[in-house]
Amino acid sequence: MDRVTRKPRHLGTTLAAVAATAVVTMVVSPTLGASAQAPQAAAKKAPQAKNVIFINGDGMGPAAREAARLYLAGLDGELTMDKLPVAGQLTTSPHDPKAVITDSAAAASAWATGEKTYNGAISVDVDGNKLATLGQQAKAAGKRTGLVTTAQVTDASPAAFFSNTADRGQQDEIARQYLDIAKPDVILGGGEDWWLPKGTAGAFPDKPAEDPSEASKGTKGNLVAKAKKKGYEYVSSAKQLGKAKAKDGKLLGLFANEEMFQQKPEGQGDVYKPVVDLATMTTKALDTLDGKGKSKNKNGFFLMVEEEGTDEFAHANNAEKTLESMRQLERAVAVARSYVATHPDTLLVVTADHETGGLSVEENDPADETGSGQSTEDGPFPVRNSDKSFTIDWTTGQHTSVAVPVTAEGPSSDRFNGKHANTYVHTVLSDILTRR
């Protein structure tokens, strides 16, 4: 099996690289322009990254970002996620015995561990060996950690940063590992069904009308009770989240049985209306990770934020709901950007694990319909601030191998210039998150 080539981790080299990065950042970054001085003086004062906010628009390829740009910002407009000053691309191929195209598990494992692996793997290598994850390493380096998602909190993307399993389906085991091993301080999203044993409905009823397949199914005991015992404040509604103080700095919020939306065929019960939106969860996560008074955070944090609707609605070739989930993702990116504006020691990264749907953006042309069934074109969608409109076409209900955009802001962000393998995320983030 091929070894993954990685840069040597000689500390001297790394620090020199960081210092060089800092100089460039000070000179070119408009957000830091006020303090830009002679490069030598600036190098001393340039903040090193202490915090990382890593945002995954699951399945969000370049054309999805373009469709959202037209729809939300207009022909001459710019998405918030595209205002980040550094832009690059990431390739996403897994090391899978059969597959060419990655799934979310192998892709997130590449980010979290720096190793390519097989589809379905949660931070284990191709031979099934557990790999150190950034979430665990950040904790070991004294940082606080958190995850926010509109998927199940134990879904593949967040799971890869905070657990190790041979199979992404073992979500109750992933939840158990969160509490016993990785101990993320903030856990906000869906997936209550995996935290409670069969027969214990919890805050969300089993077999609800909108999806009778949803019901508690954990096999690791009552993990909500266990979390409370371990000092987590537990919440299950927007109101409770708003009031939560998380005095011990630990917050668990589960806001749905499974995903925080319903992915169904178009017009047949597809709903994107999370009971708490991604921006609100992100704000609360940042407040909690920052802490106050005695529990003020001095060592920094790692926060993973994910919008899952971008992937799941693209699987259903549902452009309307894909765009709606991107609107919410944009609001979460805005929250992160305003945090970075007041905390210049924070690196913000916005990317995707893979493209979903083979989405393309086209003129409206009734003679050009190429899809059938669920792949039928969607639209027209209005171009913002314009009397024009566009059509979204699809080539597949699955993932594609198209390289995904990555944009970044803050210290070390310029390292994301150019085109890299997705494991490169680990190269950059580990330099920050494993530094004591």
Residues in touch with Zn ion (CB under 5 A): 58, 104, 311, 353
For Zn ion, the closer CB: 259 or 311: 311
The residues, any chain, with a CB within 8 Å of residue 325's CB and separated by 6 or more, are 150, 261, 272, 307, 308, 309, 310, 313
Least distance from Zn ion to the Cβ atom of residue 309, Å: 11
> How long a stretch of residues is the chain?
436
Residue found by looking up tokens 């065929």 in the block: 265
Tokens of 396: 């597949």
Least distance from Zn ion to the Cβ atom of residue 399, Å: 7
For Zn ion, the closer CB: 259 or 353: 353
Least distance from Zn ion to the Cβ atom of residue 312, Å: 9
For Zn ion, the closer CB: 58 or 431: 58
For residue 2, the 8-state DSSP code is P
d(CA 107, CA 352): 9
d(CA 80, CA 73): 9
For Zn ion, the closer CB: 170 or 356: 356
For Zn ion, the closer CB: 218 or 405: 405
Strands 86-91, 418-421: pairing kind: parallel
122 with 162: CB under 8 angstroms? no
Question: What distances in angstroms separate CA 395 from CA 135, 140, 356, 372, 374, one per listed residue?
Answer: 35, 44, 10, 10, 10
Least distance from Zn ion to the Cβ atom of residue 310, Å: 9
Other Cβ atoms closer than 10 A to 421 = 18
For Zn ion, the closer CB: 311 or 377: 311
Q: Is residue 242 classed as helix, strand or coil in its secondary structure?
A: helix
54 with 67: CB under 8 angstroms? no
User: H or E element: which one contains 54?
Assistant: strand 51-57
For Zn ion, the closer CB: 58 or 192: 58
For Zn ion, the closer CB: 278 or 340: 278
Least distance from Zn ion to the Cβ atom of residue 77, Å: 26
Least distance from Zn ion to the Cβ atom of residue 125, Å: 20
Least distance from Zn ion to the Cβ atom of residue 151, Å: 9
Least distance from Zn ion to the Cβ atom of residue 252, Å: 23
Q: Which residue is nearest to Zn ion (CB)?
A: 104
Tokens of 409: 């802001």
Q: Which residues make beta-bridge pairs with 303?
A: 53, 146
Tokens of 380: 């027209």
For Zn ion, the closer CB: 160 or 256: 160
The residues, any chain, with a CB within 8 Å of residue 389's CB and separated by 6 or more, are 364, 379, 380, 381, 382, 383
For Zn ion, the closer CB: 321 or 415: 321
For Zn ion, the closer CB: 109 or 257: 109
Least distance from Zn ion to the Cβ atom of residue 354, Å: 6
The residues, any chain, with a CB within 8 Å of residue 99's CB and separated by 6 or more, are 118, 119
Q: Which residues make beta-bridge pairs with 88?
A: 406, 418
Residue found by looking up tokens 């967040």 in the block: 158
d(CA 72, CA 174): 36
For Zn ion, the closer CB: 235 or 304: 304
Least distance from Zn ion to the Cβ atom of residue 109, Å: 12
59 with 353: CB under 8 angstroms? yes
The residues, any chain, with a CB within 8 Å of residue 30's CB and separated by 6 or more, are 85
The residues, any chain, with a CB within 8 Å of residue 266's CB and separated by 6 or more, are 316, 317, 318, 320, 321, 374, 378
